[in-house]
Structure 1
Amino acid sequence: MDRLGVFLCTGCGIGEALQVEGLTALADELGAASCRTHPCLCSPEGVADIRAALDGGTIGGALVAACSARAKTEAFAFDTARHAVERVSLREQVVWSHPAGNDDTQLLAEDLLRMGYARLAKTGPAKTLAETIERTVLVVGGGLAGLTAARTAAAMGHPVVVVEKAAALGGSLAALPELVPAEPPYDVLHPNRLPQMISELAAQANVRIFTASTIAAIKGQPGQFQVDLATPDGAVTLAAGAIVQATGSRPYDATRLSRLGYGASPNVITAPELDAMLAAGGLKRPSDGAVPQRVVFIQCAGSRDPEHLPYCSADCCSATLRQVATIHRAHPDVETAVVYRDMRTPGQLERFYLAVQQQPRSLFARGEVVGVSGNGHLEVALRDTLLGEGTVLGADLVVLAVGLVPNAADGEAIRIHRDALKRSQTGESETQREEARKIAAQYAAHEGTEILNLAYRQGPDLPALRYGFPDSHFICFPYETRRTGIYAAGTVHTPMDAAQAAEDGAGAAMKAVQCIEAATRGEAVHPRAGDIAIPDFFLQRCTQCKRCTEECPFGTLNEDEKGTPQLNALRCRRCGICMGACPERIISFPDYSVDAVAGMIKAMSVPDESEEKPRIIALMCENDALPALDVAATLRQGWNPWVRVIPIRCLGSTNIVWIADSLSRGIDGVILIGCKSGDDYQCHYVRGSQLAQTRLGNVQETLQRLALEPERIRVVELAHDEFARVPAILDEFAATIEELGPNPMKGF
Structure 2
Amino acid sequence: MAKKVAVYLCSGCGLGEGLNLEALAKVATKEYKIEIVKTHSALCSAEGRQLIQEDIEKEGVDGVVIAGCSPRVNTEVFDFGPNVIVERVNLREQGIWCHPPGDEDTQMLAEDQLRMGIVKAKDAQVPEPYKVEDISKTILVIGGGLAGITAALEAAKANYPVVLVEKNEELGGWAARLYKQVTLKPPYNRLEEPDIKERIKAVEANPNIKVYTSAKVEKISGAPGLFDATISTKNGTVTERVGAIVLATGAVPYDASKLEHLGFGRFPNVITTDMLEEMARQGKIVRPSDGKEAKSVAFILCAGSRDPEHLPYCSASCCVDSLRQALYFKEKDPDTAVYIFYRDLRAPGQHEYLYKRVQEEGVIFFRSDNTQIEEGSNNRLVIRAKDVLANEDVIVEDVDLVVLATGMVPTTALGEMIVVGAEEEEEKGKKEEGPLVRPDIYFRCDLLNLEYRQGPELPTLKYGFPDSHFICFPYETRRTGIYAAGTVRAPMDMRTTIIDATGAALKAIQCLELTAQGMAVHPRSLDTSYPEFNLTQCTQCKRCTVECPFGALNEDEKANPLPNPTRCRRCATCMGACPQRAISFKNYNVNMIGNMVKAIEVPEEDEEKPRIVIFACENDAYPALDMAGIKRLNLSPWIRVIPLRCLGSMNLIWIADALAKGIDGVLLLGCKHGEDYQCHFVKGSELCNYRLSKIKETLDRLALESDRVRMVQVEIMDYHRLPEIIEDFAKRLEEVGPNPYKGF
Instruction: Give the TM-score taking structure 2 as reference length.
Output: 0.94
Deviation sequence 1:571-626 (CA, Å, 0-9, x none): 11111111111111111111111110000011111111111111110011111111
Of 228, 233, 236, the residue aligned with 2:235 is 233
- Asked whether the equivalents of residues 334 and 361 of structure 2 are also in contact (C-alpha less than 8 Å), the reply is no
Structure 1 residue 513: Cα displacement: 0.7
Rounded to whole Å, the distance in 1 between the matches of 2:442 and 2:480 is 23
Structure 1 residue 678: Cα displacement: 3.0
SS of 2:167 mapped into structure 1: coil
Between 1:386-395 and 1:293-302, the stretch displaced more is 386-395
Rounded to whole Å, the distance in 2 between the matches of 1:280 and 1:411 is 31
Deviation sequence 1:43-101 (CA, Å, 0-9, x none): 12222222232344523311111111111111011223x12221111122222222222
Of 393, 396, 417, the residue aligned with 2:396 is 393
Distance 1:410 1:391, change over 3 A: closer
- Give the equivalent residue in structure 2 for 1:471: 467
- Asked whether the equivalents of residues 409 and 462 of structure 1 are also in contact (C-alpha less than 8 Å), the reply is no
Of 521, 536, 545, the residue aligned with 1:525 is 521
Structure 1 residue 139: Cα displacement: 0.7
Structure 1 residue 385: Cα displacement: 2.5
SS of 2:412 mapped into structure 1: coil
Q: Is it true that 1:357 corresponds to 2:353 in the alignment? A: no
Structure 1 residue 475: Cα displacement: 0.8
Rounded to whole Å, the distance in 1 between the matches of 2:306 and 2:297 is 23
Of 688, 692, 709, the residue aligned with 1:696 is 692
- Give the equivalent residue in structure 2 for 1:710: 706
Rounded to whole Å, the distance in 2 between the matches of 1:164 and 1:15 is 65
Q: Pairwise mapping of residues 175-574 of structure 1 onto structure 2 (< 5 A)? A: 175-360=177-362, 362-374=363-375, 376-394=379-397, 395-409=399-413, 413-414=417-418, 416=420, 448-574=444-570
- Asked whether the equivalents of residues 409 and 450 of structure 1 are also in contact (C-alpha less than 8 Å), the reply is no
SS of 1:722 mapped into structure 2: helix
Structure 1 residue 448: Cα displacement: 4.8
Distance 1:412 1:543, change over 3 A: farther
Distance 1:462 1:55, change over 3 A: farther
- Asked whether the equivalents of residues 414 and 444 of structure 2 are also in contact (C-alpha less than 8 Å), the reply is no
Distance 1:56 1:556, change over 3 A: farther
Distance 1:367 1:484, change over 3 A: same
Rounded to whole Å, the distance in 2 between the matches of 1:177 and 1:475 is 35
Deviation sequence 1:281-304 (CA, Å, 0-9, x none): 211111111102211111111001
Structure 1 residue 728: Cα displacement: 2.2
Rounded to whole Å, the distance in 2 between the matches of 1:263 and 1:100 is 75
Distance 1:695 1:448, change over 3 A: closer
Distance 1:624 1:657, change over 3 A: same
Rounded to whole Å, the distance in 1 between the matches of 2:101 and 2:152 is 59
Rounded to whole Å, the distance in 2 between the matches of 1:258 and 1:112 is 65
- Give the equivalent residue in structure 2 for 1:129: 130
Distance 1:349 1:468, change over 3 A: same
Deviation sequence 1:415-471 (CA, Å, 0-9, x none): 639x97x99xxx9xxxxxxxxxxxxxxx9x977522101111111111100100001
Structure 1 residue 266: Cα displacement: 1.7
- Asked whether the equivalents of residues 178 and 281 of structure 2 are also in contact (C-alpha less than 8 Å), the reply is yes
Query: Which residue identity is paired with 1:281?
Result: G
Query: Which residue identity is paired with 1:414?
Result: I
Distance 1:703 1:342, change over 3 A: same
- Asked whether the equivalents of residues 167 and 213 of structure 2 are also in contact (C-alpha less than 8 Å), the reply is yes
Between 1:125-134 and 1:452-461, the stretch displaced more is 125-134
Unaligned runs of 5+ in 2: 428-438
Rounded to whole Å, the distance in 2 between the matches of 1:98 and 1:625 is 18
Distance 1:466 1:169, change over 3 A: same
- Where in structure 1 do 4 or more consecutive aligned residues deviate above 6 Å? none
- Give the equivalent residue in structure 2 for 1:436: none
- Give the equivalent residue in structure 1 for 2:141: 139
Query: Which residue identity is paired with 1:503?
Result: I
- Asked whether the equivalents of residues 406 and 491 of structure 1 are also in contact (C-alpha less than 8 Å), the reply is yes
Rounded to whole Å, the distance in 1 between the matches of 2:556 and 2:413 is 25
Structure 1 residue 691: Cα displacement: 1.0
Rounded to whole Å, the distance in 2 between the matches of 1:215 and 1:558 is 21
- Asked whether the equivalents of residues 411 and 462 of structure 1 are also in contact (C-alpha less than 8 Å), the reply is no
Rounded to whole Å, the distance in 2 between the matches of 1:545 and 1:79 is 38
Structure 1 residue 706: Cα displacement: 4.7
SS of 1:118 mapped into structure 2: helix
Between 1:637-646 and 1:30-39, the stretch displaced more is 30-39
Between 1:332-341 and 1:674-683, the stretch displaced more is 674-683
Between 1:408-417 and 1:246-255, the stretch displaced more is 408-417
Distance 1:225 1:488, change over 3 A: same
Distance 1:171 1:581, change over 3 A: same
Structure 1 residue 564: Cα displacement: 1.1
Query: Which residue identity is paired with 2:384?
Result: A
Distance 1:296 1:469, change over 3 A: same
Deviation sequence 1:480-510 (CA, Å, 0-9, x none): 1111111111100101111111111111111
- Give the equivalent residue in structure 1 for 2:110: 109
Rounded to whole Å, the distance in 1 between the matches of 2:261 and 2:681 is 42
SS of 1:723 mapped into structure 2: helix
SS of 1:632 mapped into structure 2: helix
SS of 2:403 mapped into structure 1: strand
Query: Which residue identity is paired with 1:402?
Result: T
Count of paired positions: 725
Of 625, 628, 631, the residue aligned with 2:627 is 631
- Give the equivalent residue in structure 2 for 1:434: none
Structure 1 residue 705: Cα displacement: 6.0
- Give the equivalent residue in structure 2 for 1:153: 155
Q: Is it true that 1:602 corresponds to 2:604 in the alignment? A: no
Of 722, 727, 731, the residue aligned with 1:735 is 731
Unaligned runs of 5+ in 1: 428-442
Structure 1 residue 655: Cα displacement: 0.4
- Asked whether the equivalents of residues 44 and 77 of structure 2 are also in contact (C-alpha less than 8 Å), the reply is yes
Rounded to whole Å, the distance in 2 between the matches of 1:366 and 1:725 is 40
- Asked whether the equivalents of residues 252 and 402 of structure 1 are also in contact (C-alpha less than 8 Å), the reply is yes
- Asked whether the equivalents of residues 443 and 457 of structure 2 are also in contact (C-alpha less than 8 Å), the reply is no
SS of 1:636 mapped into structure 2: coil
Distance 1:663 1:448, change over 3 A: closer
Distance 1:416 1:632, change over 3 A: closer
